[in-house]
């Protein structure tokens, strides 16, 4: 099979699997235990924390382990809003965030918080000017993702961080789940206070997430329990998965630049392929000649992520398209894996201004390290064949 669903989950790296198995077999003691076995497990835990901190140029004490990206985003958004409610009850986010960010904001609205959902342009990008215009003296949190999980748009975090730098009472949260290992993540430079990440998006195990919390920031815990993870996230730490995740994140960050260059080249080929099929409509930024959307400038931040191509087949049900691709040994997605089983139009595409037919027919292709020219040529060839086979059905569906 050709696996083109890396945004949903990545294949675990062989060295990550070996590390996890070794730690699980040899260091099974609870890291909170006082005996030698517990102390050895606790050392591994802190070594993993230091590895992650080193990869991002931060301090080890600023990283906390959770069960995944969803928990990290929930803890950051809800924990910050509740902790700093005495400062104000206004919060800002964008209309194209992942459900693990949007749902906590809706929950906070039910608690009496006021939330501004920022619009995006036709490529799915938030305007820093819109962020600035929405800020009030009551704003305690701005949450904007780095890379959109559906269409791959890249948000202007440097500009947003710059304007928030002048407002120390407003925290800046970033959902970095889809960007780590694909694009540089500059926490200090951007002034990020909170960041969420997930190990299984970078070749690590599932069930492990990271939460970066800048020193000095406080969060109201979502769970009660022991004092693990500084009391921010109680519960016995999953040491084997944490050690394996640290290795996956380190490898992802170390190889990011090389990976991005190779993926942008593949992305350009796929964009050209999709653009040549009249029935398909590309969504998001970039073009075949400029897949990063920088306009050729080496100084400019990319507008599109290197590993995602998204398009619509207006008039065609996306699940029909996905299943037809599968018959040709290609695995792809309709939208976010967390939302792919509902039949509603994509909220991300609707926020980008797409009509209902286009928003209800999106297909996401996301690739990874195992892909090269041969895999892209197979995919491009099959896209053309699938559209040709589905064409009669398209007419029938529209009758």
Q: Which two tokens stand for residue 178?
A: 């889809």
The residues annotated with a catalytic role in the active site are: 338
Q: Which two tokens stand for residue 387?
A: 């559209």
State how far the Cα of 388 lies from the Cα of 209, in Å rounded to an integer.
42
State how far the Cα of 70 lies from the Cα of 234, in Å rounded to an integer.
16
C-alpha neighbours within 13 Å on the C-beta side of residue 134: 25
Q: Which two tokens stand for residue 56?
A: 């991002």
Of 369, 350, 386, 299, which is closest to residue 124 (Cα–Cα)? 350
Q: Which two tokens stand for residue 29?
A: 């003691």
- DSSP character at residue 2: E
State how far the Cα of 160 lies from the Cα of 126, in Å rounded to an integer.
10
- Which contacts of 166-170 are long-range, i.e. CB under 8 A and separated by 24 or more positions? 167/135, 167/139, 169/84, 169/87, 169/88, 169/140, 170/135, 170/139, 170/140, 170/141, 170/142
Per residue, the 3-state secondary structure of 78-122, as one string, reads: HHHHHHCCCCCCEEEEECCCCHHHHHHHHHHHHCCCEEEEECCCC
Of 194, 183, 372, 321, which is closest to residue 260 (Cα–Cα)? 183
State how far the Cα of 378 lies from the Cα of 375, in Å rounded to an integer.
5
Of 388, 378, 377, 382, which is closest to residue 316 (Cα–Cα)? 388
State how far the Cα of 62 lies from the Cα of 115, in Å rounded to an integer.
27
């Amino acid at each position: 099979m050709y696996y083109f669903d890396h945004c949903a989950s990545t294949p675990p790296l062989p060295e990550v699997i070996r590390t996890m198995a070794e730690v699980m077999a040899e260091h099974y003691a609870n890291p909170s235990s006082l005996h030698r076995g517990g102390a050895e497990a606790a050392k591994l835990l802190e070594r993993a924390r230091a590895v992650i901190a080193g990869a991002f140029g931060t301090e080890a004490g600023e990283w906390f382990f959770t069960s995944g990206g969803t928990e990290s985003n929930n803890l950051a958004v809800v924990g910050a809003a509740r902790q700093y409610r005495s400062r104000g009850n206004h919060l800002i986010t964008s209309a194209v965030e992942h459900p693990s960010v949007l749902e906590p904001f809706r929950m906070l609205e039910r608690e009496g918080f006021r939330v501004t959902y920022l619009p995006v342009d036709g490529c799915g990008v938030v305007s820093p000017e819109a962020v600035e215009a929405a800020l009030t003296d009551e704003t305690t949190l701005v949450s904007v993702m780095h890379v959109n999980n559906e269409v791959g748009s890249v948000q202007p975090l440097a500009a947003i961080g710059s304007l928030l730098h002048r407002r120390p009472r407003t925290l800046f949260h970033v959902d970095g789940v889809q960007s780590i290992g694909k694009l540089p993540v500059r926490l200090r430079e951007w002034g990020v206070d909170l960041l969420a990440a997930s190990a299984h998006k970078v070749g690590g195990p599932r069930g492990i997430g990271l939460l970066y919390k800048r020193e000095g920031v406080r969060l109201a815990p979502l769970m009660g329990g022991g004092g693990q993870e500084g009391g921010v996230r109680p519960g016995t730490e999953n040491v084997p998965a944490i050690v394996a995740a640290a290795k996956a994140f380190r490898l992802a960050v170390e190889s990011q630049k090389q990976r991005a260059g190779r993926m942008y080249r593949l992305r350009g080929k796929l964009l050209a392929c999709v653009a040549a099929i009249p029935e398909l409509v590309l969504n998001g930024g970039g073009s075949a000649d400029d897949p990063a959307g920088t306009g050729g400038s080496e100084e400019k931040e990319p507008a599109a992520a290197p590993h995602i191509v998204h398009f619509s087949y207006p008039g065609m049900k996306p699940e029909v398209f996905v299943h037809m691709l599968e018959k040709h040994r290609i695995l792809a997605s309709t939208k976010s894996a967390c939302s792919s089983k509902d039949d509603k139009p994509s909220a991300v595409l609707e926020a980008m201004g797409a009509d209902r037919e286009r928003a209800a027919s999106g297909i996401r292709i996301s690739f990874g390290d195992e892909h090269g020219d041969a895999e892209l040529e197979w995919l491009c060839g099959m896209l053309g064949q699938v559209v040709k086979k589905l064409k009669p059905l398209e007419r029938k569906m529209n009758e």
